[in-house]
Structure formats: structure tokens, C-alpha cells
Structure 1
């Protein structure tokens, strides 16, 4: 894919090129609803690319985890990035993100999928403390 883009369009252009690579890859040809999934991944990725540089950095991932209701320490977020990138970078690029989403289900992926379910209005477990019990509810 040959892309000529200006600064603001870089992320979109890279996402389109990477998505096209996955659409043409024999390994993913049988992936159910691949075009829709890739479009969803692109939107989710762009949401957490806070500096519009085409990468999710520590703060972007930290914000993602907070939005999931699972806040993580700075060190935890660094470990998550290492898990996704294999230690090759301090940021998650779109290619790494898509590979993570379509590949083996890592801890990060599971959290992202939880976020996706919440965004789609899926039922979730109630938050907060459990309801108070009275003596009659005890066994």
C-alpha cells in the first residue's frame, strides 16, 4: 500500500493499509466479520491514540484501563505494553494492536473486549458493594 498523507491523516492511512494487509492475509481469510472487526479496531485504536501520533502510549493505555473500570499502575501499564509489543517499543502501534485483537487472547485483549461489550450495551455485573443481607437470608 502506498500512502501519501499529511500529519493529521497518518493514523487513518496506516490503519487502512494495515487493515488491507489483514484482509489479504490467507491466515485471516476465514475470520468471521473481519471487515467489521477491523473497522471497530480502528475506531477503538484512534480513541486511545491521545497524541495523534499513530501510537497508543502509556497514558493512552492507562486511560483505556481506567475507562474499563480497571485502573492500573504505571508499572502495570508498562508490562502490558511489553506483552503486546514483545518489548520492542514503549508504545503500541496499530499493527501490534490488530495482531493482539485477532491473535491469542492476552490479558490486554480481554480487557479491551470487556470495554467493547460495555460500549455495545451488553449486560455487565453490577458495580459497587453487594446488597445488605438480613438475618432471614442466611442459611
Structure 2
């Protein structure tokens, strides 16, 4: 994806930021449609749902709206997940996933990391995040317990 870095000195950039995010969402939606049509990951029955989740995650962690996850974005992601790492560890994680040698993770590489056969540290951390999300507990009034029911 082409770089769409915003001007940090423009304090009235809310509309521009919204436009950049909308354009980024459209590009990712187009990539997702191509992935679904190509049937590269046809073994996943819930592919559309997974790609939608990946899109949301990718856009959230791409803090500079460049279309790539650079070491700063990955550091933010890991910090948000409570897994702080130093810059050398982050660069090693990115190198495991980076297929084109740019030192960043683009959306194609992100999807391949999450759905591909090869395990990476980032994939394990992100999958752990999904599993650790709170599941809804029982609701309503608890059943009445009596002494006769105790073992």
C-alpha cells in the first residue's frame, strides 16, 4: 500500500485522518475480496469473519496510517497486549513475518502470518489475545443451594 502519512503539525487534520482511514479500509476490503476469490485459504470456513477481524486489528495497530506495521506500530501493539519488548526483539519478530524485506509488515504479510502454516511469535501473541478475551459468564439469579444438596 502506498504511504499516506499525515502531517503531524496540522492540528485540524480530523477530516483528513477520517479520509485516510476510509481509504485504508477500502483498500483492505479490496484485498480481502481478492483473498476470498483466490481461494488461497479455502480450508477456513469462517474466512470472511477472520479477515474482518484482521482488518480491524491491522487498522488499529497501524498508528501512522502508512499501510504497514513498522517497529513503532508493533511496539504499540505488544504494549497494548501487555507484552513489552525491546526494539531488537521487535525487529526479530518482524523479520520472521516480513517477506519482501522492507522491515515492516504489510496487510498481505499480516494475513499470511495469521492464517499461514508457519508459526511466528507475533501470531502466537495475537492468537493468545483472542483467546484471553473475556467470555460472557452466566447471567441471572444463581440457583438456590441447600444443606441437603451438599455431598
Please give the TM-score of this superposition, normalised by the length of structure 2.
Answer: 0.70
Output the aligned Cα RMSD. Answer: 1.9
- For the structure 1 residues 87 and 71, does the alpha-carbon distance in structure 2 shift closer, same or farther, using more than 3 Å as the test? farther
Tell me how far apart the structure 2 counterparts of residues 78 and 71 of structure 1 sit (CA, whole Å).
Answer: 13
Match of 2:111 in 1: 98
Q: Deviations over 1:42-67 (max 9, x none)?
A: 00001100011211111110111112
Match of 1:78 in 2: 91
Match of 1:53 in 2: 66
Tell me how far apart the structure 2 counterparts of residues 78 and 48 of structure 1 sit (CA, whole Å).
Answer: 16
Task: Return 5+ residue gaps in structure 1 as ranges.
Answer: 1-5, 123-139
Match of 2:126 in 1: 112
Q: Is the 8 A contact 1:48 1:60 kept in 2?
A: yes
Q: Deviations over 1:30-84 (max 9, x none)?
A: 3120000000000000110001121111111011111222111101111111111
| Mean CA deviation greater in 99-108 or 82-91 | 82-91
Tell me how far apart the structure 2 counterparts of residues 8 and 103 of structure 1 sit (CA, whole Å).
Answer: 27
Structure 1 runs (4+) greater than 4 angstroms displaced: none
Q: Is the 8 A contact 2:93 2:120 kept in 1?
A: no
Please give the TM-score of this superposition, normalised by the length of structure 1.
Answer: 0.75
Tell me how far apart the structure 1 counterparts of residues 56 and 76 of structure 2 sit (CA, whole Å).
Answer: 15
Q: Secondary structure at the match of 1:27?
A: coil
Match of 1:43 in 2: 56
For the pair shown, the structure with the greater C-alpha radius of gyration is 2
Aligned residue pairs: how many?
A: 117
Task: Return 5+ residue gaps in structure 2 as ranges.
Answer: 1-18, 136-151
